[in-house]
Amino acid sequence: MKVFISRDIPAQGIELMRNEGLEVTVWKVDRPMTQPELIENAKQSDALLCVFSDKIDKLFLNECRHLKVIAQLAVGYDNIDIDEATRLRIPIGNTPDVLSEATADAAFLLMLAASRKAFHLHKSIIKGEWTFFRPKANLGIELRNKTLGIFGLGRIGTEMAKRCKGAYQMDVIYCSRSRNSSAEELLQARKVEFDELLSQSDVLSVHCSLNETTNGLFNKEAFHKMKRSAIFINTARGTIHNEKDLIDALSERIIWGAGLDVTNPEPMRPSNPLLSMENVAVLPHVGSATIEARNAMSRLSAENIIHGLRGEKLPNIVNPGIYNR
Ligand code: GLV
């Protein structure tokens, strides 16, 4: 059976699939595939291993309804029309857990970088602006005993909270669809309403999935309810915040700083005003970009493909409902 992979991935997963006797083809051109290219290649395959920038919408799914499994190399799957895949009974797999620590590290790094203006100061050295000691210049803020607000206390949010609790004894509050009792116990975390999360957090870190309710949620109104000293962190999806409103909130000093691993659009344009703000740190969507996480993601997606092609339940299934009918 044939597997098509839409972007070159670490070898471990490819080896697993070849050892299973599968014929694996990798898209080797170093750019995202267009949808016609993706459809053409998927049509000649039994399974697809894709990435979050591939558009797996109604059109794609109906053109490629023969696929026995689609495995995404990511935890998020907002690029995939899950309802349609379920209707067509195509199992969709993802790669949770193995990237939680790496992504939480990115959030923690952005929090520190924003709080100490680190990316801005690095750039200032390159520009020859490191001159002499000025006791009142370049002052950041400390994090000890501050309040961390987590929006979406799942696996990644919990890892971020653990880091902040361990390093700075931060108080943890969170806003999530459901209660996370184990995190509450482990971190003395307190579940609050959205408005309280906004008004109480010194650092507000977003770890939810992108869906109709979270799309554009962090907008002008939300930023205006936050503390003037607050730092906003987003390592989830760029469209969860309204980037124009964030730029305004930062330039009008409605909030203090921001750290982003995800932007809207991606890639961020080099002329974006956020890139020249002192209290802002931006990374190019690299939350899971560690050797360990990407190797594990490669293996997990391969396992999803192998199980799917054997006609077995995927180890990490996004739409388990397909098995109930
Ligand atoms: C990356 O953004 C992911 O969802 O894994």
Sheet of 69-72, strands arranged across: 23-26, 2-5, 47-50, 69-72, 92-93
- Whole-angstrom distance, CA of residue 267 vs CA of residue 285: 9
Give the pLDDT score at 325.
Answer: 63
Which residue is closest in CA terms to ligand 1's atom 3? 74
User: Does the structure show a pLDDT above 90 at 248?
Assistant: yes
- The CATH number covering residue 303 comes to 3.40.50.720
- Please identify which of the residues 7, 120, 163, 237 carries the catalytic annotation: 237
Mean pLDDT computed over 127-154: 97
Question: How confident is the model over 218-237, as pLDDT tens digits?
Answer: 999 999 999 999 999 999 99
Q: Please give the residue range of the domain that contains residue 157.
A: 100-282
Say yes or no: 118 and 223 in one domain. yes
- Whole-angstrom distance, CA of residue 106 vs CA of residue 286: 8
Give the pLDDT score at 84.
Answer: 98
Say yes or no: 94 and 172 in one domain. no
Question: How confident is the model over 90-109, as pLDDT tens digits?
Answer: 999 999 999 999 999 999 99
Say yes or no: 91 and 129 in one domain. no
- Whole-angstrom distance, CA of residue 225 vs CA of residue 229: 12
Look at residues 132, 113, 133, 110 and name the one whose alpha carbon lies nearest to residue 123.
113
- Whole-angstrom distance, CA of residue 213 vs CA of residue 78: 13
Give the pLDDT score at 303.
Answer: 98
- Please identify which of the residues 221, 266, 292, 312 carries the catalytic annotation: 266
Give the pLDDT score at 124.
Answer: 97
pLDDT confidence tier of residue 324, bands split at 50, 70 and 90: confident
Give 128 Cα–ligand 1 centroid separation in angstroms: 37
User: Does the structure show a pLDDT above 70 at 283?
Assistant: yes
Q: Please give the structure tokens belonging to residue 120.
A: 């801005």
Say yes or no: 87 and 113 in one domain. no
Establish whether 159 is a catalytic residue. Answer: no
Give 39 Cα–ligand 1 centroid separation in angstroms: 22
Which residue is closest in CA terms to ligand 1's atom 5? 74
Say yes or no: 154 and 227 in one domain. yes
Mean pLDDT computed over 19-42: 97
The pLDDT > 70 percentage for the chain reads 100
Cβ–Cβ < 8 Å for 24, 18: yes
Examine the fold and report which residue of 248, 264, 282 is the final residue of a domain before the chain moves on: 282
Say yes or no: 273 and 295 in one domain. no
Give 53 Cα–ligand 1 centroid separation in angstroms: 10
Give the pLDDT score at 305.
Answer: 98
User: Does the structure show a pLDDT above 80 at 238?
Assistant: yes
Question: How confident is the model over 193-223, as pLDDT tens digits?
Answer: 999 999 999 999 999 999 999 999 999 999 9
Say yes or no: 222 and 138 in one domain. yes
Cβ–Cβ < 8 Å for 270, 256: no
User: Does the structure show a pLDDT above 90 at 20?
Assistant: yes
Ligand 1 atom, smallest distance to 297 CA? 5
- Side-chain-side CA neighbours of 214 within 13 Å: the count stands at 18
Say yes or no: 128 and 269 in one domain. yes
**Total number of domains in the chain:** 2
Report residues whose beta carbon is within 6 angstroms of any ligand 1 atom.
52, 74-76, 99, 287-288
- Whole-angstrom distance, CA of residue 251 vs CA of residue 246: 9
Ligand 1 atom, smallest distance to 73 CA? 5
Establish whether 307 is a catalytic residue. Answer: no
Give 124 Cα–ligand 1 centroid separation in angstroms: 31
Supply the pTM of this predicted model.
0.97
- Please identify which of the residues 285, 294, 303, 307 carries the catalytic annotation: 285
Give 253 Cα–ligand 1 centroid separation in angstroms: 30
Say yes or no: 71 and 137 in one domain. no
- Whole-angstrom distance, CA of residue 211 vs CA of residue 53: 16
The pLDDT > 90 percentage for the chain reads 99
Say yes or no: 172 and 276 in one domain. yes
Say yes or no: 81 and 154 in one domain. no
Q: Which residues contact 273 (CB under 8 A, 6 or more apart)?
A: 247, 251
Establish whether 237 is a catalytic residue. Answer: yes
Ligand 1 atom, smallest distance to 237 CA? 2
What is the average pLDDT value for the chain, to the nearest integer?
98
- Whole-angstrom distance, CA of residue 305 vs CA of residue 309: 6
Q: Please give the structure tokens belonging to residue 191.
A: 């579940």
Say yes or no: 85 and 150 in one domain. no
